[in-house]
Amino acid sequence: MNKTLGIYIHIPFCASKCGYCDFYSLAGCDKLMPKYHNALLQHIRESAPQLREYYTDSVYFGGGTPSYYGARRICDIFNTLKRSGLIYKSAEVTMEANPDSIRYHDLVTLRDEGVNRISIGAQCANDDLLKLIGRRHNWQQVKKAVKNARDAGFTNISIDLIYGLPSQSREDWADTLGRALELQPEHLSCYGLKLEEGTPMFFYRDSEILPDDDAQADMYLYTCETLDRYGYRQYEISNFAKPGKASRHNLKYWLLRDYMGFGPGAASSVNGIRYSYIKDLKAYISGIQTGGTVVDEYEKIGELDRAAEYLMLGMRTVHGISPTEYHNIYRSDFTPLAELLEEFKRKGWAVNENGRWHFTPSGFLLSNLLIRLMLDKQGEYKLSGNPWVDSMDMFLEQTELPAGDEVFYH
Ligand code: SF4
């Protein structure tokens, strides 16, 4: 039987750049959309032989701002994928949307074509703060977007929020979280603000109005407790979902499953090979048009790197890691790690449940440090750039397709 695959489509266009944004996305380049569209469709069609080696059970349109790119174009891409690959009709198909660029009739169009999950970039319920960080919407528009998505038939809605914003108090954050809960999304992603060099908001790094590490930690623990009370299961450091609503696509990154990306900057990991495309829109378009190279980084992942990634990615989730799995897959001795994890357990940072180790919320807070200690112990801290390790999120239960559910688009 073919292996399963997740497909990621990168849409590198935004209406404007947010002050904290470090993603590869461009504002003011809309006139390149038609050329990009043609190049992307060509790339997908040319990749049909590789795509057909897999059964695709998740598709993710991320960015950038896919909703700004337009529902028609997204459907066009999805239809090209349906013709080029073997996509389950039951696949999880997600599109990221910003509240200011998603309308009811777009959502109906997307739903009709098979998009079944919407991830809305809400970030915060305080309109002044939204303005400060360069967002184009207000909270009223978030409410409207969620209502429109429900009315259009979406039963799987995720909301993205950010805590630790300049001048944000714990009360402000509690208010944002409360207002997000009123919208009853199936999934919530709550990220602590990270100020990256080169972004417009980087200068806040030394500012007194930026919540310090303790304040951020406090907001984080508050988030974990509150969402737990409301029935959201934390399945990764920053991700919380109602039962059965963990993102199937995002799970793939953490379960070290195969995924294929398209578009500038998009990363892929298939058959033990990892590669990514150049973060340069024009070069990507001309590379596809002329048959030139668009690959930026390419590497074969060795078994030891894979074992290190198993620790790093697994410990970001509450699925955690299993000594038996580790030994069986990587033929490595788990004993030194077990001793360290016992120490973490004594400090209240980790637990062992049903034979698997995972962090507690206080352990997640320290996860960068604790994972580094584990890697040192493993003697394999030479991780060659998995793009998800620092920035991505997600997972929990393996969401295999139900038996017999093998109906494809064609
Ligand atoms: S909308 Fe998203 S991708 Fe675009 S600039 Fe803002 S944060 Fe970045």
Contacts within 8 Å (CB) and 24+ apart, 238-241: 238/189, 238/190, 238/191, 238/192, 238/393, 239/187, 239/188, 239/189, 239/393, 239/394, 239/395, 240/187, 240/188, 240/189, 240/190, 241/186, 241/187, 241/188, 241/396
The pLDDT score that the predictor gives to residue 388 is 40
State which of 13, 20, 21 you would mutate to test the pocket of ligand 1, scoring each by most atoms of that ligand within 8 A of its C-beta: 21
Give me ligand 1 centre to Cα 175, in Å.
Answer: 23
The pLDDT score that the predictor gives to residue 119 is 98
The pLDDT score that the predictor gives to residue 389 is 39
Ligand 1 and 21: CB distance under 6 A: yes
Ligand 1 and 18: CB distance under 6 A: yes
Ligand 1 atom with minimal separation from the 63 CA: 3
The pLDDT score that the predictor gives to residue 410 is 65
The pLDDT score that the predictor gives to residue 377 is 86
The pLDDT score that the predictor gives to residue 226 is 98
Ligand 1 and 17: CB distance under 6 A: yes
The pLDDT score that the predictor gives to residue 256 is 87
Catalogue all structural domains in the chain, each as residue range(s) with its CATH number: 3-253 (3.20.20.70), 303-385 (1.10.10)
Q: Which residues of the chain have pLDDT under 50?
A: 380-405
The pLDDT score that the predictor gives to residue 308 is 87
